[in-house]
Structure 1
């Protein structure tokens, strides 16, 4: 059974699971929200990648334990207005969800 992973591509990323591959172009990304989930002894840093809008909006959630997460986050840095200090914003202070908008296509337009 294949473990989920994130693959970066020239113009985006793909989430690969046993069910298939979900490829997304960076041009489709309208927002990225970073946050963490308290898992008792550790926190899990997550990001919701938002594409589309209205009834067509889709949210893909990735987290730091998925292979390729770090490479994907570095890839997102090429988006205009992306918050490069996102990790500190998401992890501090401890024991708080710290849900933070780290990229918005509308804010950078």
Structure 2
């Protein structure tokens, strides 16, 4: 059984698990929600990434203990409108979930 990992390229990322590899285009990311899970002595920072073709979006959950998490977050932070101060909003105060929308794609609205 392999440990999950995230591989990030310029335009997509892949979540690799023992079940296989799932590639997601950064252009299909519509929402990113960050939060913490209280694990008694520490908190685990997690993100729910909503992505996929319109009408067929799926939620992928990742967390900071997965190899490649930081690289993906750095790439997501480059998306227009991404809240680059998300860590402060999620990490403090400790042991609170602090669920926060840190990215929401704005489609062209004229």
TM-score (norm 1): 0.92
TM-superposed CA distance for 1:94, in Å, is 1.3
Q: What is aligned with 1:34? A: 34
TM-superposed CA distance for 1:37, in Å, is 0.2
Uncovered stretches (5+) of structure 2, i.e. residues with no partner: none
Q: Give runs of ≥4 in structure 1 deviating > 6 Å.
A: none
Partners of 2:107 and 2:87 in 1: how far apart? 20
Partners of 1:71 and 1:16 in 2: how far apart? 14
TM-superposed CA distance for 1:69, in Å, is 0.4
Q: What is aligned with 1:105? A: 105
TM-superposed CA distance for 1:57, in Å, is 2.3
- C-alpha root-mean-square deviation of aligned residues, in Å? 1.8
Partners of 1:103 and 1:49 in 2: how far apart? 9
When you count helix as a share of all residues, which structure comes out higher?
A: 1
Q: What is aligned with 1:45? A: 45
Q: What is aligned with 2:70? A: 70
Partners of 1:108 and 1:96 in 2: how far apart? 35
* 2:106 aligned counterpart, secondary structure: helix
TM-superposed CA distance for 1:64, in Å, is 0.2
Q: What is aligned with 1:87? A: 87
Uncovered stretches (5+) of structure 1, i.e. residues with no partner: none
Partners of 1:87 and 1:104 in 2: how far apart? 16
1:80 and 1:108 in contact (8 A); partners too: no
1:81 and 1:108 in contact (8 A); partners too: no
